[in-house]
Copies of this chain bind each other. A is one copy, B any other.
Amino acid sequence: MRLFICGFGTVGQGFAEVVASRKGFFEERFGEDVTIVGAMDSRSYVTSQDGLDPMSIVIGKAENGRVGPDGYDDPLAVLDSVDYDILVEVSPTDVKTGGTGLITIRHALECGKDVITVNKGPLALRFRELMDLAESKGCMLRFEGSVGGAMPIINLCRENLAGENIRSIRGIFNGTCNFILSKMDNGQPFEQALKEAQQMGYAETDPTNDIEGYDSACKVVILANSVFGRDVTFDDVEITGITSITEGAIALAKSRNMVIRLIGEVSDTKLSVGPRLIPRGHALGLSGTLNTAQINTDLAGPVTVQGRGAGRMETASAILSDLVAIMEARR
């Protein structure tokens, strides 16, 4: 199986390492090698039809700040310059335009390639179009890592729970907000908790995307489209962030044995992100940086999952899960 990795930041590098570390696994399970025939970052690329050494690309990127010596004008021409089976699209998320990710995913599908992505932009903006394109070409478009990182949710709902009528999904889909709210439970004011999140590397310098609920909203959109068969985008989500949650509100919740959590909720009719009161001890009252989701089904009842919502190896692990599923299906 030949992969082309588009985007070679933290996740792309982590995934290349995973490919190297799973050599024996691929051979044993599928009797087949997985090779990386191309890698591209925002300004350079490297390709080899015979396969690149994954660790060499990672080391090269670390040493030179770029994936290869050559620059490019047209990312699609680079893609077309080698034969690959699966595009692994992990370039930075752009929720306004979909960014390069949207362009390369669409192109790969048009060329009959399978695609794995964790890029929320293209999925939140053009889900139906991309899925329809994949279907018309007999390709797979998989995106486990786009919601909840290493927490299993997309494939769990679409495959393991495929026979269920899923009534709703409610969850914590942003570890940064949950870290801040957990700190506020212990009496820290918002600003201080945010600062600590930034110092710990959980929140970015501009934390807007997390704390205003936009990141959670993207994930809710992806769940709505992929699990509930809806056709919605970012603008359809009712969003409230966590910036206006006061110490007083937290204290009042506490006095009633509740906590406040930023909950994304999706069903056939609902699509929202906002702070909610959760009873202490409830699965959605989780503290810390983990993600969690409660999937409410008609037969199984509530199924709850919990896992690391972000991280280099954690997101790479979700991509690996999709890769295994594609290899299983193509066997």
Chain A, 282-331, CB within 8 A of any chain B CB:
283, 287, 297, 299-308, 311, 313-314, 316-318, 320-321, 323-325, 328
Decide: B308 and A301 in contact? CB cutoff 8 A: yes
For chain A, give the interface size range.
35 or more
Stretch at the interface among A63-71, A160-168, A264-272: A160-168
Give the copy number: 2
What is the distance, in angstroms, from A304's C-beta to the closest C-beta of chain B?
Answer: 4
CA distance A304 to B150 in the complex (A): 11
Stretch at the interface among A93-101, A124-132, A151-159, A192-200: A151-159
What is the distance, in angstroms, from A285's C-beta to the closest C-beta of chain B?
Answer: 9
Decide: B303 and A29 in contact? CB cutoff 8 A: no
Q: Does A22 contact B (CB under 8 A)?
A: yes
Decide: B317 and A299 in contact? CB cutoff 8 A: yes
Decide: B300 and A317 in contact? CB cutoff 8 A: yes
Decide: B160 and A160 in contact? CB cutoff 8 A: yes
Decide: A152 and B156 in contact? CB cutoff 8 A: yes
- The answer to whether A299 and B18 touch (CB under 8 A), given A304-B307, A305-B304, is yes
Complex partner residue of A321 from B155, B163, B283, CB under 8 angstroms? B163
What is the distance, in angstroms, from A221's C-beta to the closest C-beta of chain B?
Answer: 22
**Which residues from chain B contact A164 at a C-beta distance below 8 Å?**
317, 320
A4-23 Cβ-contact flags toward B at 8 Å (1 or 0): 00000000000000100010
Decide: A300 and B305 in contact? CB cutoff 8 A: no
Decide: A314 and B301 in contact? CB cutoff 8 A: yes
What is the distance, in angstroms, from A186's C-beta to the closest C-beta of chain B?
Answer: 13
**Which residues from chain B contact A300 at a C-beta distance below 8 Å?**
150, 307-308, 313-314, 317-318
**Which residues from chain B contact A72 at a C-beta distance below 8 Å?**
none
Decide: B308 and A305 in contact? CB cutoff 8 A: no
- The answer to whether A299 and B320 touch (CB under 8 A), given A162-B29, A304-B307, A306-B304, is yes
Decide: B301 and A160 in contact? CB cutoff 8 A: no
Decide: A299 and B316 in contact? CB cutoff 8 A: yes
What is the distance, in angstroms, from A29's C-beta to the closest C-beta of chain B?
Answer: 7
CA distance A150 to B163 in the complex (A): 12
Chain B's closest residue to A307 (CB) is B303
Q: Which A residues form the contact surface with B (CB < 8 A)?
A: 18, 22, 25, 29, 150-152, 155-156, 159-164, 281, 283, 287, 297, 299-308, 311, 313-314, 316-318, 320-321, 323-325, 328
> What 8 pairs across the A-B complex have the smallest Cβ distances?
A299-B317, A150-B300, A304-B306, A163-B320, A300-B317, A303-B307, A301-B308, A162-B324
A-B CB contact pairs (8 Å), 29 listed: A18-B299, A29-B162, A150-B303, A152-B152, A152-B161, A156-B160, A159-B160, A160-B160, A162-B321, A162-B324, A163-B317, A163-B320, A163-B321, A164-B317, A164-B320, A281-B281, A299-B313, A299-B316, A300-B308, A300-B313, A300-B317, A301-B307, A301-B308, A301-B314, A302-B307, A302-B308, A303-B305, A305-B305, A305-B306
